[in-house]
Amino acid sequence: MSAVQNRPADRYGAPIVSPRLGRIMVAVVAIVFAAMVVLIGIRFADQPVRAELLSYEHVDENRIAVSFAVTMRPGVEAECAVQAMNEGRAQVGFVEVQVPAQEQRRSTHRVEIATQGEAVSAEVLGCEQL
């Protein structure tokens, strides 16, 4: 065997992309990935009011109680939309809750929703600053 046949390029063929082009492609992908992370971070950091479902309990056949936490700047008022859903995830109850200005950044709230049928779950659809 000669030394020429022992080179990987001779044995397996030339690479599809050159090493230089490969480094450029990796750099471009890394820049695009970093830009996406920054844009997503800005999108979620820019939300002035956030809500999180804590729990729900069935009060009776046509009523469900929902506990949720709201995170917003102290002194800001908000309005939150909360819904109750049946087994098929159809909305059976809905309420908009006024959240008055709080002294703390995070506060918990409880609301009872009258339902049209049996609710098996609930969710906070979102909150908006007033």
Burial 69-100 (b: 16+ CB within 10 A, else e): ebbbeeebebebebbbbbeeeeebbeeebebe
- CA 92 → CA 113, 115, 128, distances in Å? 9, 5, 22
Return the half-sphere exposure (C-beta side, CA atoms, 13 A cut-off) of residue 79.
3
pLDDT in tens, 55-95: 999 998 899 999 999 999 998 999 999 999 999 999 999 99
Q: Report the pLDDT value the prediction gives residue 12, as an integer from 0 to 100.
A: 78
Of 54, 36, 21, 29, the closest CA to residue 123 belongs to 54
Position 34 pLDDT exceeds 80: yes
For the chain, percent of residues with pLDDT exceeding 90: 65
Both structure tokens of 14:
């030339």
Distance CA(67)–CA(54), nearest Å, equals 5
Higher per-residue confidence, 115 vs 8: 115
Position 97 pLDDT exceeds 70: yes
Position 41 pLDDT exceeds 90: no
Q: Report the pLDDT value the prediction gives residue 46, as an integer from 0 to 100.
A: 64
Higher per-residue confidence, 67 vs 12: 67
Return the half-sphere exposure (C-beta side, CA atoms, 13 A cut-off) of residue 26.
7
Return the amino acid letter for 48.
P
